[in-house]
Amino acid sequence: MLLSQSSKETSQPTTATFEVFSPDTFMVILDFVYSGKLSLTGQNVIEVMSAASYLQMTDILNVCKTFIKSSLDINEKDHYFSLSPSSMNSESDNTSLYRSRRKAKSNPAHSLFALDQKTNMTNENLWSNFSSHSSEQMSVQQQQPKSSKRGPKPGSVRKRRRRLRLSQSHDFMQYKSDKSNATSGSCSASESVNYSPQSKEQIQLDAGNDSTHEYPCNQESKVVPKRWTVAQLEEELSRTTPECMDLKADELYTSMPAILGVMGGWNEDDLPRMRFKCPFCTHTVKRRADLKRHLRCHTGERPYPCEACGKRFTRLEHLRNHFQTIHQAGKLICRKCKNHVTDETGRVVQQGTRRYRLCYECLAEAGLDSIPDDLEAEHPLIIAIGDKNPSWHLDEEQRSDVEMVEDEPDNLVIQQINDSADESEEKVKPNLR
DNA sequence: CTGGGGATGGGGCCC
DNA sequence: TGGGCCCCATCCCCA
């Protein structure tokens, strides 16, 4: 269009320069034009997609979207992403195309799309198998070793909803380049707005085509995703999960490619309203900080441990709430009669690491009229109760194992408890998700 | 087995 | 941008 339009007007030779993407990226596109093979990697897919958008090559655009989508589809919450740090951050030297299952298995992390007609016939079935049950199976396979009796039920609604969120990506993702690429001629953040389809209709069209794996320009050609069997997927997951487990949301947030800007609809003045899209699910947020917080639910990162019981939380406020309700008896409610109780009308009792309040009436019913003076002097509002013993009593042995620390709001450490069987189990539970 | 309530997780949004 | 609050959904324990 550029060349023909310019030559019509000026009848002079026209030179088109493409400064918004690198020669390597253009080489990938050019190879596709001549060979029908698109060499996509986790490293280049973003820039190739941006270039394809700029060049209005919707075919490549769809391939890139399918590539990314397939990468996200095999992910579960605990698996993070197949565009793993190794494939995204490290330069991929292996440029060979995937043509066979064996090849895919030999180097599954380096995924390429081969628009090779020879492999088209079997790929559709493989793909449908892959996309229909691989994520289900993987989630089960991956969850089972970690599950506990307190863990979420396998078929729970919550799990199902989360899985749907991961696999149903119909958003049109609009990419802007990494900051590091801005100087090398890639599109900048501001330019990314111009890269979007020219009309709202086109956006909807793109979103609607998202689910297809047909390659539109050639009816015989089909997109060939990573063609793995379940066993191969398990192998890949067992290989990739440990390195992903080390990834923190902060690191992920700063190191991941800037797949952030998405169209969040349109303002009243017909300007695009930007939101930030999670690269691992369809969730979008208004603010980058919220995205950073949201990423923790994908990384599984729980940076706030309760030093009383070892349970870990994704947010400080959750830890605080937990600590206040569980270990500080923050609620002024009698655990038995549910009536309002104050320091004058009741006491704080302790059961293991848990503390809660009982009114004097309920205390009397439980036979706790007499409290040793030494304990009362040291902790006038605390009655310690054994974990397993239903009778109300003072557990001196337990008390000797528990080092009480002042309940300062700024210092959430109140106890240092020797590891018992129950406690060690309790410490493991928070990390099971 | 079931319903209620506490504990927890996550999103929106204000400061 | 981070901290914090509020709200709601879900999970899970217990009566």
pLDDT value for A371: 35
What tokens does A314 get?
Answer: 């994704």
Name the pairing type of β-strands A354-359 and A382-385: unpaired
In contact, A215 and A63? CB cutoff 8 Å: yes
pTM of the model: 0.42
Three-class secondary structure of residue A7 per DSSP? helix
What does DSSP assign to residue A152?
P
CA(A417)–C1'(C2) in Å? 32
A392-to-A303, A347, A350, A370 alpha-carbon distances in Å: 36, 13, 10, 11
Q: Which of A325, A329, A156, A137 is nearest to A237 (CA)?
A: A137
The nucleotides of chain C lying under 7 Å from a protein CB are: 1-6, 10-13
| Strand nucleotide closest to residue A314 (CA to C1') | B9
A79 contacts: CB under 8 Å, gap ≥ 6: A138, A142, A237, A240, A241, A244
Instruction: Find which nucleotide's C1' atom is closest to A165's CA.
Output: B10
State the nucleotide closest to A290 in CA–C1' terms.
B11
Q: Is the CB of A118 under 7 A from strand C?
A: no
Task: Extract the residue ranges of chain A whose pLDDT is less than 70.
Answer: 1-12, 17-20, 71-275, 367-433
Strands A382-385 and A346-351: parallel
Residue A222 phi, psi dihedral angles, 5° rounding: -130, 150
Chain B bases closer than 7 angstroms to a protein Cβ = 6-13
Whole-number distance in Å between A272 CA and C6 C1': 29
Tokens of A253: 């947030």
User: Bridge-partner residues for A415, per DSSP?
Assistant: A404
Residue A159 Cβ under 7 A from any strand C atom: yes
Please tell me which residue lies nearest to nucleotide C5, judged from CA to C1'.
A317
- Tell me, what's the pLDDT at A320? 82
Mean pLDDT of chain A: 52
The reply to whether A146 Cβ lies less than 7 angstroms from strand C is no
A388 touches strand C (CB under 7 A): no
Listed residue (A222, A246, A25) closest to A115, CA to CA: A222
A239 touches strand C (CB under 7 A): no
Distance A285 CA to B11 C1' (A): 9
